[in-house]
Structure 1
Amino acid sequence: MGAAYFERLGPTRFRATEHTSGAWQVSEQHIAPALGLLAHCIERDRDARRPDGLIVGRLSYDILGTVPVGEVEVATRVLRPGRTIDLVEATMTYADRAIVRARAWLMATADTMSIAGGALPAVPGPQECEPWAMRDVWPGGFIGGVEVRRQVLGPGRSVAWVRTPVPLLADESVSTHARWAGLLDITNGVAVRADPRDVLFPNVDLTAHFVRSPVGEWAGFDVTVIFGGDGLGVTHTILHDAAGPLGTQSQLLTVRPRHQ
């Protein structure tokens, strides 16, 4: 196995390592590291174009298909340049087939500490949650390489804290925000409402909104999973770090009983 989730092969080409494998099929990439790589490419494009340090306000991903553990390419383009706000898109392809498309709103900072606040509730910290062997439920190199602490609150309801010792990209500096983006997709598997041996419930998208940039190595998730009666579901998450709540996230699920 490589030392990171991805190895750079060129300006836009990357090789996924076995650390990315799982969780629905171990021959395919768990999409979480790919989301982090796209965020990293968007930030590198930003830094090459402008020096003013716009921060990520929203990350929105459409997951267009599955991808083997292999070589991928990332193309980045600015959809809406602006003086204080940019909209940037990055698309990952495998064998010329689009796999994931990301769009990020990059926004100028301002001093709003005097009016900062909100009603998002606090959650137990990582030291207050029990270690959870997530690999007992989900296979693959990605799940096998993360540390998870969890407190189960009920069916489809959990608080989980996640961190990983595996770098997103070998031999390359990556921001905390991009590293965090590489963990976001794990939320659909930490508050399991149905046994994945009986029910498939992959997500087709992921959208995260941030009120500030994350800090620290632990990513905190207050997760609620809802299944509807028509084959649709939603995983809704309040995002936390060591400093408290920092945003929200939602994933649309396609729910498919295996034995119908």
Structure 2
Amino acid sequence: MSYFERLGPASYRATPRAGGAWEETEQHIAPALGLLAHVIECDRDARRDDALVIGRLSYDILGTVPVDVVDVTVDVLRPGRTIELVEATLTYAGRAVVRARAWLMQPQPTAEIQGTTLPRIAAPDRCAPWDPTTIWPGGFIESVEVRRNQKEPGRASFWVRTPVPLVDGEKVSPLAAAAGLFDIANGMTVRADPREVAFPNLDLTVHLFAEPRGDWIGFDTSVSFGGDGVGLTSTVLHDTSGPIGTMSQILTVRPGAPKAT
């Protein structure tokens, strides 16, 4: 079973595999973020043949969405020969649920000068298997494999992969597949018991200097809570070759509110 099934040119049905962690009848937003990356790339490839690369994906999460049929639209906000800004919107019953903006850029031959000072994390085979269903319910959480080095509450490095296709019967890029896992970061090294404190993220922004390769996506993650109900989950993203980018998620921290709204 996949996370989504295509019903038409712009319509998809979420399957139970996309069930959420805060509320199982609602979608975990992670697969939806991957779906939006996929439709952005499909729109790009339908319009042009020069394979612009995505350097940034920025998502605003406007509300919850049932495990049901959703629609997507794509608009080019800033057309260009070498750079584009594209916006994709996921809606449910006419209501916008997620808006994604992506900067697409013309690839350049910079292999001879590539490099980063971001530190690597231990490889997947050097991290202990960990079962996230000990903390979180839902079809999405059940569908993933996690290996984790936990340092302290709110601080860990971990690897995630899934055997579940993003869209039934469709080939998706390694980036779209990875984007369908990015949002898991906020729940893999919790600072507080989610049965006592809600801390959903309102957004997710990824900056990439390399496209992910392989099944495993690595996260070097820190979770911070401020004193006024605002938190931040910060991550350096990896594939098995090393760091590939950074990611941040702003949190609304709500003691005594196990269900986020």
Q: TM-score, normalised by structure 1?
A: 0.98
Partner of 2:124: 126
Letter in 1 for 2:4: F
Partner of 2:205: 207
CA distance in 2, matches of 1:118, 1:95: 44
Letter in 2 for 1:79: L
What root-mean-square deviation, in Å, do the aligned CA atoms of Structure 1 and Structure 2 show? 1.0
Letter in 1 for 2:200: P
* Structure 2 residue runs without a partner (length 5+): none
Partner of 2:89: 91
Partner of 1:251: 249
Distance 1:147 1:259, change over 3 A: closer
* Matched position secondary structure for 2:140: helix
Distance 1:16 1:259, change over 3 A: closer
Partner of 1:55: 53
Letter in 2 for 1:106: L
Q: Deviations 1:30-76 (Å, cap 9, x if unpaired)?
A: 00000000000000000000000001100000000000000000011
CA distance in 1, matches of 2:20, 2:106: 37
Distance 1:37 1:154, change over 3 A: same
* Matched position secondary structure for 2:57: strand
Q: Deviations 1:131-171 (Å, cap 9, x if unpaired)?
A: 10101100000000000000001120010100000000001
CA distance in 2, matches of 1:64, 1:29: 13
Partner of 1:218: 216
Letter in 2 for 1:191: T
Q: State whether residues 198 and 257 of structure 2, in contact with CA within 8 Å, keep that contact through their aligned partners in structure 1.
A: no
Partner of 1:136: 134
* Structure 1 residue runs without a partner (length 5+): none
* Matched position secondary structure for 1:245: strand
Q: Deviations 1:172-222 (Å, cap 9, x if unpaired)?
A: 110000000000000000111100011000000000000011100000000
1:33 aligns with 2:31: yes
Kindly state the Cα deviation for residue 114 of structure 1 after the two structures are TM-superposed.
2.2
CA distance in 1, matches of 2:118, 2:5: 37
Partner of 1:82: 80
* Matched position secondary structure for 2:8: coil
CA distance in 1, matches of 2:127, 2:112: 33
1:145 to 139, 143, 146: 143
Q: TM-score, normalised by structure 2?
A: 0.98
Give runs of ≥4 in structure 1 deviating > 4 Å: none
CA distance in 2, matches of 1:136, 1:235: 21
Partner of 1:16: 14
1:235 to 221, 225, 233: 233
CA distance in 2, matches of 1:58, 1:106: 8
Q: Deviations 1:51-107 (Å, cap 9, x if unpaired)?
A: 000011000000000000000000111000111111100000000000000000011
Kindly state the Cα deviation for residue 116 of structure 1 after the two structures are TM-superposed.
1.5
CA distance in 1, matches of 2:147, 2:136: 15
Q: State whether residues 20 and 138 of structure 2, in contact with CA within 8 Å, keep that contact through their aligned partners in structure 1.
A: yes
Partner of 1:172: 170
